[in-house]
Chain A
């Protein structure tokens, strides 16, 4: 079968439709791969448990991953530039608690509280960006540090107290349970954010520059791309989106304490990696990351519906990460071989 594909793909494919469009084709194929995996899981599980294959169940799956998907969009932007943001979990937690607390103490109304939460997320992301660009601290180290700092701040502010559902105004709580045109609001938020980000990354100059920084930082500098400013911007965006997720967190879970969203960063990075985003930057799409999140949520839901022990979930997630990355490497090597055939004429 490999030979057939190889024969079908013209040896000067890169020359014919352009390198960029070839890479876009690869990205689409990768996303197709996740969709196929999803379809396969759905079919297999639906045969065993028909209630899996209902609209309300799919809605449950999407709802359960909506917040992770929002954060994953921001993380994708950062990873594309060959960086990583490990502090997203702590940002979500800190913003969730501050927003909840503001509402609990009746300091401000719901709209202002939401705005405040988003601004806080933006600020925390900017701090990350500053440490990385101005402080020249490698992203993994910087965000490991801020992961601890932001989480510690959440505990300091909380002082052992928590925000309960009864402390929060109904209008705020209803956000997570309401719908827009029949689709739950949280899902709509995630889809809109992902769509805007995907469009900007794919079709705007800034988006292409982000990809360039990740593929070849030195070359990007030489060409005149303002790498430092763009990387800073990526972290600001990541913080902002984590802030958005934090604001919605309280509405979804009702009770918020200082350890909210602990460990979220690993789930988000898993989704991003499974979605085909290269951890070394330069390739991958927001759509892929969102699909990665959906895949993980589907697996969890499948385990629940099949009455399988949730203890298998982490092991399966780990295996999926390894499978996804292995497949990516295989695909990359394969296309590299095809594309470099042009040079052999």
Chain B
């Protein structure tokens, strides 16, 4: 009589289960407090912005004689980040430095990591407040939002007309925070009363989707006077679209971008000015903060101050956030200064 086919499935799963039992409790050891094994988990890996932050992290790692690695999904969704968090937890890293695609979706996995003693530091885009020890914000959220409205007002003649925002993913914490600031700035500050926000489009940090959305904005709103894109992928895509459709000078473009990607567009006038911060320093500070937490030199409570290598001293504010500094405005006269 043939063996019932179910027997094979159970045999297979028995193999699996037995090997698991054999492996035992190697995961119950707590992560090393003296060795620095810190991993960066950006929103997505094929994004030059995060690559630059990684160089900062690597610099800090070399200084502190710790280990650095960067892992992440290829598409920027919260769901895709979860398996990476679990893997890092399994690998018993000392700390995870993460930029959240979806603040809530990754919270359970992060909490599990924290329960194991792994430190969690948010950077760029914060996970849920109770799912991280400290958040490194590149600049004051209000400042980032306000500077972009200011720039678009500068670039539009008469500071009046329709404007649109080309964002990244709809759930990114930082994007939504900045957009909220922009909306309230437009509403409350009379200097901007002539500007009207007609649409927030989502490019998902994907070059193709961003291009299509940018084109859609131009099609749907023929009187559009300005586009704000607070994401490096979006602003680069919008710049190309404006150039291809000969809208340079007719539609203003500003937002957040990297100097290397935007240099040509600034010089030919497609985008007169845009902002960012020192992305490398963001990575450097994030690594340093994580390292200090791992070594027990700081606890991550509000009010603590610490020194982060070459950047100097920082204080953790009431919402367990550390501010890197101020946003930096790039124009034609200073864009050659930085190379990233």
Chain A interface residues toward B at CB < 8 A: 51, 57, 60, 64, 155, 158, 160-162, 164-166, 173, 176-177, 252-262, 301, 304-305, 307, 310
B220 close to A165 (CB less than 8 A): no
Pair B208/A261 contact, Cβ less than 8 Å: yes
Residues of B180-217 contacting chain A, CB below 8 A = 206-208, 211-212, 215-216
In the complex, what distance in Å separates the CA atom of A262 from the CA atom of B215? 19
| B104 proximal to A (CB < 8 A) | no
Q: Which residues of B contact A160 (CB under 8 A)?
A: 45-46, 51
Contact A161 B240 (CB under 8 A): no
Tell me the complex Cα distance, A310–B263, Å: 32
Q: Are B222 and A51 in contact (CB-based, < 8 A)?
A: yes
Question: Can you offer 20 A-B residue contacts whose CB atoms are under 8 A?
Answer: A60-B219, A64-B212, A64-B215, A160-B45, A164-B236, A165-B261, A165-B264, A166-B261, A176-B244, A177-B243, A254-B211, A254-B236, A254-B237, A255-B233, A255-B237, A259-B74, A259-B206, A260-B208, A262-B75, A305-B220
Of A165, A258, A259, A262, which contacts B240 at CB under 8 A?
A165
How far is B45's CA from A64's CA once the two chains are assembled, in angstroms?
Answer: 27
Which B residue's beta carbon lies closest to that of A184? B244
- Give the distance to chain B from A69, nearest Cβ to Cβ, in Å: 16
Q: Is B161 an interface residue (CB 8 A)?
A: no
Cβ of B207 and Cβ of A254 under 8 Å apart? Answer: yes
Report if B48 contacts A (CB, 8 A). yes
**Please, how many angstroms separate the alpha-carbon atoms of A255 and B263 in the complex?**
15
B55 CB, min distance to chain A CBs, angstroms:
13
* B86 cross-chain contacts in A, Cβ below 8 A: none
Q: How large is the interface on B (under 10, 10 to 19, 20 to 34, 35 or more residues)?
A: 20 to 34
Tell whether, in the assembled complex, residue B216 and residue A310 are in contact, meaning their CB atoms are under 8 Å apart: yes
**Inter-chain contact B220/A307, CB cutoff 8 Å:** yes
| CB neighbours of B243 from chain A (8 A) | 177
Among A158, A164, A301, contact of B261 (Cβ-Cβ < 8 Å): A164
State the 3 A-B residue pairs at the shortest beta-carbon distance, nearest first: A255-B207, A254-B240, A177-B244
CB distance from B219 to the nearest CB of A (A): 5
What residues of B have a CB within 8 angstroms of the CB of A262 in the complex?
Answer: 75
The interface residues of chain A lying within 8 Å CB-to-CB of B220 are: 304-305, 307
Known: A165-B236, A255-B240, A262-B75. 15 other contacts (CB 8 A): A64-B215, A160-B46, A162-B47, A165-B239, A173-B240, A253-B207, A253-B208, A253-B240, A254-B240, A255-B207, A257-B207, A258-B46, A259-B206, A304-B220, A307-B220
Contact A164 B215 (CB under 8 A): no
Q: Give the docked Cα–Cα distance between A276 and B216 (Å).
A: 28
Are A155 and B208 closer than 8 Å at their CB atoms? no
Q: Are A57 and B219 in contact (CB under 8 A)?
A: yes
Chain B residues with a Cβ under 8 A of chain A: 45-48, 51, 74-75, 206-208, 211-212, 215-216, 219-220, 222, 233, 236-237, 239-240, 243-244, 260-261, 263-264
A299 to chain B, nearest CB (A): 13
| A129 to B215 CA separation, bound complex (whole angstroms) | 37
Distance, CA A166 to CA B265, complexed state (A): 9
Would B48 and A164 count as touching, CB distance under 8 A?
Answer: yes
A31 to chain B, nearest CB (A): 27
Q: Is the CB of A256 within 8 A of B46?
A: no
Complex contacts, B211 vs chain A, CB 8 Å: 252-254
B219 partner residues in chain A, CB cutoff 8 A = 57, 60, 301, 304-305
- Closest beta carbon of chain B to A83's beta carbon, Å: 27
Bound together, the chains give a CA A234 to CA B97 distance in angstroms of 49
- With A164-B48, A166-B261, A254-B240 already in contact, the answer to whether A304 and B216 are too (CB < 8 A) is yes
Nearest neighbor of B245 in chain A, beta-carbon distance: A177
In chain B, what residue has the closest Cβ to A61? B219
Q: Is the CB of A166 within 8 A of B264?
A: yes
Q: A166, A254, A255, A260: which contacts B260 (Cβ < 8 A)?
A: A166
Q: How far apart sit A161 and B261, CA to CA, in the bound complex (Å)? A: 13
Q: B215 contacts A158, CB within 8 Å? A: no
Asked if B244 and A162 sit within 8 Å, CB to CB, the answer is no
B residues less than 8 Å from A252 (CB atoms)? 211
Q: How far is the CB of B282 from chain A (nearest CB, A)?
A: 18
Closest Cβ of chain A: how far from B64's Cβ, in Å?
24
A254: B residues at CB distance < 8 A: 207, 211, 236-237, 240
Contacts of B233 in A (CB 8 A): 255
A176→B46 CA distance, assembly (Å)? 24
Query: How many whole Å from A260's CB to the nearest CB in chain B?
Result: 7
Distance A257 CA – B236 CA, assembled complex (angstroms): 13
A177: chain B residues at CB < 8 Å are 243-244
Complex CA gap A176/B243 in Å reads 11
| Nearest CB of chain B from residue A100's CB, rounded to whole Å | 11
Nearest A-chain residue to B48, judged by Cβ = A162
- A166–B222 Cα distance when bound, in Å, is 27
Which of B46, B216, B239 touches A259 (beta carbons < 8 Å)?
B46
Query: Are B216 and A162 closer than 8 Å at their CB atoms?
Result: no
**Interface core residue of B51, B212, B244, B260 (most chain A CB under 10 Å):** B244
Which A residues are in CB contact (< 8 Å) with B208? 253, 260-261
Provided the pairs A51-B222, A177-B244, A256-B207 are in contact, do residues A162 and B46 lie with their beta carbons within 8 angstroms? Answer: yes
Q: How far is the CA of A51 from the CA of B219 in the complex (A)?
A: 9
What is the bound-complex CA distance between A80 and B206, given in angstroms? Answer: 33
Query: In whole angstroms, what is the CA distance A51 to B224 when docked?
Result: 14
